[in-house]
Amino acid sequence: MVNAAENEELRTEEEIDEVPYVEFDISVSPSDPSLELLAKKIQEKDIIIPFYQRRYVWKIDQASKLIESFLMGLPVPQVFLYVNDEDQLEVIDGQQRLMSVKYFFEGFFGEEDAKGNRKIFKLKGLSERSEYNGKKFSELSVKDQRKLKNSTLRAINIKQLKPHEGSDSVFHIFERLNTGGTMLKPQEIRNAVYRGPIVESLKELNQDPDWRKILGMPQPDKSQKDVELILRLFSLFEVWDDYEKPMLRWLNGTMKENRNFDTERADRFFEKFGEVTQIINENLKKPFRPKRVINAAVMEAVMVSMLENPDIDGEVLARNYDDLLNDEDFSRFITGPTTDTLMVKSRLTRAAEILEK
């Protein structure tokens, strides 16, 4: 039975954020590798299915029809691969197709289960007249085996040329080209293109029990909106005076520049986060909800102020929180274009002034 809480999504007030203009300085080169070569490259980790990708979800009938399409010479949609800094090919779009081919060559469908067993991959769900129904790769004729191994799949290889250290254009490449059944959300994409220790650190902070109570969600959000909120807090902590819109680009830059999460600022944030969530949880009832659902701008203003100023303890917070929400200036800074540069800096300044009284 599925726990309803596991599928619950974090609801926050809608924010208006400017869509960043992106110039792509990339090379795009098509290739037509054989299926045998693709399977070999996956096996040797020259083509990788990155950790951030959703797991293999195809049913055996879907995979079987794909294999049949190759055997019949029917067209199959192309795959998109990103050339990373190690010259590996990361799968942006096409995981299900590539893994289906690999599994069929191996003779097993999917990975091992908890007991170390794997399901035999026999083609299934094809038309009754199909000569391939019920056959494993090893049971195909030598001619069909050869035909399948030599069949090609168009691959589009994408490589960023400038800047060499990467930029958030990679984020937009993934955002535009990932066409899986369920589109990845921004934080999931960030975990893809800016991977590093920061991903696990944010995930660990997201498990903080007081944080979960503040959000009103026992389980993490499936689209990682809760993780994105923590990233947003960290991105502004001690450096919000440098903030420039749009927020999406600012968050991308934070992930990129703090992949290792090993700076003194990161250490301070990690240490203070749990202290602040505990104070909030003990002194405010359903915080940051001026209109029933969480307002990220209110959360950001209060929590960043507390993270930066240890004098805002529970007593001070309880005494000044309502004054902050009722302040006319602050109210103006938490509605409308809340991610504009002036709005972000104004509300953080105002929140610090009122909460520090």
Q: What is the pLDDT of residues 124-158, one digit of tens each?
A: 999 888 999 999 999 999 999 999 999 999 999 98
Separation of CA 350 from chain center? 32
Q: What is the mean pLDDT of residues 247-255?
A: 93
The letter for the amino acid at 323 is D
Place of tokens 């090893």: 138
| Dihedrals phi, psi of 90, to nearest 5 degrees | -90, 135
Using an 8 Å Cβ cutoff, are 265 and 259 in contact? no
In this model, does residue 76 exceed pLDDT 60?
yes
CA 226/CA 232 separation, integer angstroms: 10
Predicted confidence band of residue 227 (pLDDT cuts 50, 70, 90)? very high
Using an 8 Å Cβ cutoff, are 329 and 47 in contact? no
Sequence ranges of the domains in the chain: 4-17+185-355, 26-160
CA 108/CA 60 separation, integer angstroms: 10
Using an 8 Å Cβ cutoff, are 121 and 136 in contact? yes
CA 349/CA 29 separation, integer angstroms: 49
Q: What is the mean pLDDT of residues 221-244?
A: 95
Q: Is 318 left (phi over 0), alpha (psi -120 to 50) or beta?
A: alpha
pLDDT at site 6: 46
Using an 8 Å Cβ cutoff, are 323 and 343 in contact? no
CA 29/CA 323 separation, integer angstroms: 59
Strands 79-83 and 155-160: parallel
Using an 8 Å Cβ cutoff, are 172 and 96 in contact? no
pLDDT at site 3: 46
Cis status, amide bond into 163, omega within 30 of 0: yes
The letter for the amino acid at 12 is T
pTM, rounded to two decimals: 0.69
Give whole-number Cα distances, 105 to 82, 136, 237, 315, in Å: 24, 9, 51, 65
The letter for the amino acid at 245 is K
- pLDDT, tens digit, 9 for 90 and up, residues 163-214: 655 555 667 777 666 655 456 688 887 887 787 899 999 999 999 999 999 9
Strands 89-93 and 79-83: antiparallel
Quote the DSSP letter at residue 185: P
